[in-house]
Structure 1
Amino acid sequence: MIVGQKEKGIFINGEWRDSYSGTVRAIINPATLEKLTEISYGGKEEALEAVEEAKAAFPSWSKKTARERSTFLYKAYEKMLENKEQLAQILTSEQGKPLTEARTEIESAASYLLWYAEEANRVYGEIIPSSKVNRRSLVIPQAIGVIAAITPWNFPASMVTRKLGPSLAAGCTVVLKPASQTPLTAMAIVKIFEEVGLPKGVLNLVSGDAKGVGEALTQSPDVRLITFTGSTEVGRELMKNSAQHIKKLSLELGGHAPILVMDDANLENAVDLTLASKFRNCGQTCICANRVYVHREIADSFVEKLAVKVKSMKIGNGIDEATVIGPMIDRNAVEKAAEHVEDAVHQGATIITGGKEWQGNLGGHFYEPTILVDVNDQMKVMNEETFGPVLPIETFDSIEEVIEKANQLPYGLAAYIMTESTNRVFQLSEALEYGIIGVNDVFPATAEAPFGGIKESGFGKEGGKEGIMEFVEMKYVSIGMTN
């Protein structure tokens, strides 16, 4: 892929093509607002054709042995790492995150292909001891069929492979719909699978209109599962639109992650981890800290130490190796961050640092990393997912109080605990209503462990042995025997 040339953004049955309508979309660098390239931009017609080709490819792909399927994943894993620098450059150019983060994301994305290349061979059925002497009971795992994978813009590599790895390993065929803002990374990954010889029709990609493509994927009876990462609002629409055919869904939706900093926490470590969680990818992370609850006895010291480090963070173009805070994805994201800060200040919050757009010389979508104190539970920033570099800090006095505050929202994706007490680890982990708990750890996502939320943060798991089971149906076979 040569950024700057017009790209064919549709890949169906092993062929890169333009859209039938001739529509193109410009891909913009959010740091500089320069046009990187134009891609062909499809819709419902292309999506339905992709489903048909995936359906046609399913019988032969699903009948391959797990070892045969895993070979393609191993090769794609190796080629991703070989091309890590090129992929990272593409990712940073279209998404904005610093190159150091982009390289880490490519490594993480590749790790899901490796894990599921291995896990493909461990999808076991079972023989059930029968209650009757003349019956044998078997459970057989089988690939669910054609799946639609809809991925977000904030992690345009790892969110793709977290879906492709287990689905292809299980024997499913795929129609991939990447985010409109960041299709180039997904296209580059698909080209890697093309290079390693993945059979035609097994993996298809449609860059295009979210509404048109989404309608096609939800309304087609041939799509048996939709795996989606994105907002809770879109997740609700997918559930509603998928009801006609009773599709299976795997949804990783919005979050509002709290960090609980207990009075016995290692203060320096808690500051560093909070900084890393909140400001990674400019706060545009589904599991990043959205609110911090700090015990009153250590709150002043915590805020002081955090503010010093936040003020030293370099803002700029992600291509610059020294950049720590890159751009936000678009103008709407900047305006939402500004709205949340303005609302908080209007209701009595105090800005410790940041609190405004960054007026650099790049012309892109930047907002300063911001710390707010004197916040309360009525503010937007404490209730809505900001998805930006804004960190509100509230104090607490008792463990019962902080548990209640942490659980008061309808989201349940990730929560974090900073403590040196084993008792508190278990007490808080069991009490917090979240699918993922990080204890002195703010980077819990890993290929070998299940990732997913509860409540309005969705259902289904990505990663671990659980991740591949989302794409498998367990068929029960009862065999009667004659004497």
Structure 2
Amino acid sequence: MPVFLLFNRVALNRVVMRRDVIELSATNIIRRKLHLLQNQAFINGKWVDALSGQKFDVTNPVNEQTLGTVPDMNVDDLNEAIDTAYQTFYSKGWHTSTSKERAALLKKWFHFLETNRQEIARIMTSESGKPIAESLGEITYGNSFVEWFAEEARRVYGEIVPTPQANRQMMLIKQPVGVAGLITPWNFPHAMITRKAAAAIAAGCTVIIKPAEDTPLTALALTKLAEEAGFPKGVLNVVTSSRKNAASIGELLCRSEKVAAISFTGSTEVGKLLYKQCANGIKRIGLELGGNAPFIVFDSADLNKAVDGAMNSKFRNCGQTCISANRFLVQDGIYDRFMSRLLERVKQLKIGDGSQDGVQIGPLINRSQLTKVSQFVEDAKQKGAEVVCGGKQLPEHGSLYFAPTIVTRLRNDMRLYNEEVFGPVISIIRFKTEDEALKIANGTQRGLAGYFYSTDLNQVFRVSKLLESGMIGVNEGLISSAEAAFGGIKESGIGREGSKYGIDEYVYIKYLCYGNLE
């Protein structure tokens, strides 16, 4: 099975997918009038334009053609959404809804998401550029959070606490915090919304979603299906905006007294700013921020598994994932064999329009990202690194394509060594000892994910404890799952998403003490 058929369900859908994805383009999408393709935001159960009447274009990164326009909202629109979500939570009684009712809504949403997976994938591929197989894989992953939290909604348990006094009864109960503001990124426009929104709604919160300006159409498609699933008005709201208004919208979400929680996935720099803005109100905040993931290949590693893991971890979504391997540390004894096998695999990657069957590498999301990746590679070259393959733009495919790249002879004064590239670039660092590898791997303030390959059991347990990351793949390059607690340490964020802990971000514990009992 090709590397990028990451989920079993993707493979099962390939036969159906082939006919659907041939010659997909912006023009084809519009002509086919996909019922999930929306051009308005969603507030209080209504599809609305911006109060200012302003709009912005959404483009296909494959050819930079316009897919459509959506409202360019500002703080006036957001205030309306905040008021709606606040009133729905309190005045309209969403906070008193039962866990069974919320679970039923989420299950119905999950059903609608599954039924419409092909259409969602076509929209996602068109606005993000990722290969259609990866879009379908993300939908499987994203939908799993809706299913998971539909089940977890009925397991938000409290506690009976043994009391030191005979005439008292002590209880701990969990209650929803209120309105949750969810700010999501462009690289996983489906899964980052469902992972946050499903948890918040399961807990009993109302939500306001601010999707990334590059990929709002996927968010609106999910919202359309939530509407069809029967979500009450005001429970789920979506505010779209261009980059021009993004900062002011984020600040208002953080500073509004009516918003109780913020969840953000994105860069560490923006995360720090939101953290500061939330401080004035001591607001609940969850942050999933940038990484600088090490990928360590020890001499004892299974070579085939290590190369497979490297390809999966690095080139999914053209390297534009927060847990993508960033620094590849390869031990002396296996270095030459690993490099030879890796180079062979990288050269086989199929580059092109992600809507075409079999394509594994699509474009970068926008010109800013293309410039960043190009500058990182050029910086390394100028400082003495060797570009083994790639290292250049591919205008024959489109203006936003960058070749899958391998760079060796890295030094610690290079940007590729110290910063997250967020692109299809493998940076190789050669090492001699385990201690040396751990020193390099842990020599960063980022600690989201890490990977290592070894068949030495003692080393596996030792390195697992010493590697400073919130998530670690041991002999595995794909670690995400709805059942797992997703999150980092250091400057890579606070809080966890997914798993049984995901709901904790949206509830608080209330202590009840019943005294003077007879």
Q: TM-score, normalised by structure 2?
A: 0.91
Paired position in structure 1 for 2:490: 455
Paired position in structure 1 for 2:281: 245
Among 468, 479, 501, the alignment partner of 1:444 is 479
Among 95, 98, 105, the alignment partner of 2:131 is 98
Paired position in structure 2 for 1:307: 343
Paired position in structure 1 for 2:228: 195
Structure 1 residue 62, shift from structure 2 partner? 2.0
Q: Which amino acid aligns with 2:45?
A: G
- Paired residues of 2:121 and 2:139 also in contact (CA < 8 A): yes
User: Quick one: distance in 1 between partners of 2:248 and 2:413?
Assistant: 37
Q: Which amino acid aligns with 2:167?
A: N
Q: Which amino acid aligns with 1:250?
A: G
1:407 matches 2:442: yes
Paired position in structure 2 for 1:340: 376
1:78 matches 2:114: no
Structure 1 residue 457, shift from structure 2 partner? 0.1
Among 452, 459, 468, the alignment partner of 1:424 is 459
Q: Which amino acid aligns with 1:465?
A: K
1:24 matches 2:39: no
- Paired residues of 1:77 and 1:110 also in contact (CA < 8 A): yes
Q: Which amino acid aligns with 1:438?
A: G
Paired position in structure 2 for 1:149: 182
Q: Which amino acid aligns with 2:437?
A: V
Q: Deviations over 1:374-401 (max 9, x none)?
A: 1122210011111101111011111111
Paired position in structure 2 for 1:376: 411
User: Quick one: distance in 2 between partners of 1:151 and 1:458?
Assistant: 14
- Paired residues of 2:291 and 2:449 also in contact (CA < 8 A): yes
Among 111, 118, 130, the alignment partner of 2:163 is 130
User: Quick one: distance in 2 between partners of 1:231 and 1:97?
Assistant: 20
User: Quick one: distance in 2 between partners of 1:257 and 1:8?
Assistant: 37
Unaligned runs of 5+ in 1: none
After TM superposition, what 4+ stretches of structure 1 lie above 6 angstroms from structure 2?
none
User: Quick one: distance in 1 between partners of 2:38 and 2:219?
Assistant: 13
Among 181, 204, 210, the alignment partner of 1:177 is 210
Structure 1 residue 7, shift from structure 2 partner? 4.4
Structure 1 residue 212, shift from structure 2 partner? 2.4
1:47 matches 2:82: no
Structure 1 residue 215, shift from structure 2 partner? 2.0
Cα gap change, 1:355 to 1:135, in 2 (>3 Å):
same
User: Quick one: distance in 1 between partners of 2:251 and 2:325?
Assistant: 33
1:258 matches 2:294: yes
Q: Which amino acid aligns with 2:506?
A: F
* SS at structure 2 position matched to 1:423: helix
User: Quick one: distance in 2 between partners of 1:374 and 1:458?
Assistant: 31
Paired position in structure 2 for 1:479: 514
Q: Which amino acid aligns with 1:111?
A: S
Paired position in structure 2 for 1:15: 46
Q: Deviations over 1:344-364 (max 9, x none)?
A: 111111111100001224x33
Among 314, 318, 326, the alignment partner of 1:278 is 314
User: Quick one: distance in 2 between partners of 1:56 and 1:3?
Assistant: 37
Write the mapping of 1:215-234 to structure 2, written as runs, cut at 5 A.
215-234=251-270
User: Quick one: distance in 2 between partners of 1:455 and 1:9?
Assistant: 38
**Equivalent pairs, count:** 482
Unaligned runs of 5+ in 2: 1-25
- Paired residues of 1:70 and 1:118 also in contact (CA < 8 A): yes
* SS at structure 1 position matched to 2:197: helix
- Paired residues of 2:168 and 2:513 also in contact (CA < 8 A): yes
Q: Which amino acid aligns with 2:105?
A: F
User: Quick one: distance in 2 between partners of 1:256 and 1:187?
Assistant: 31
User: Quick one: distance in 2 between partners of 1:7 and 1:268?
Assistant: 44
- Paired residues of 1:9 and 1:41 also in contact (CA < 8 A): no
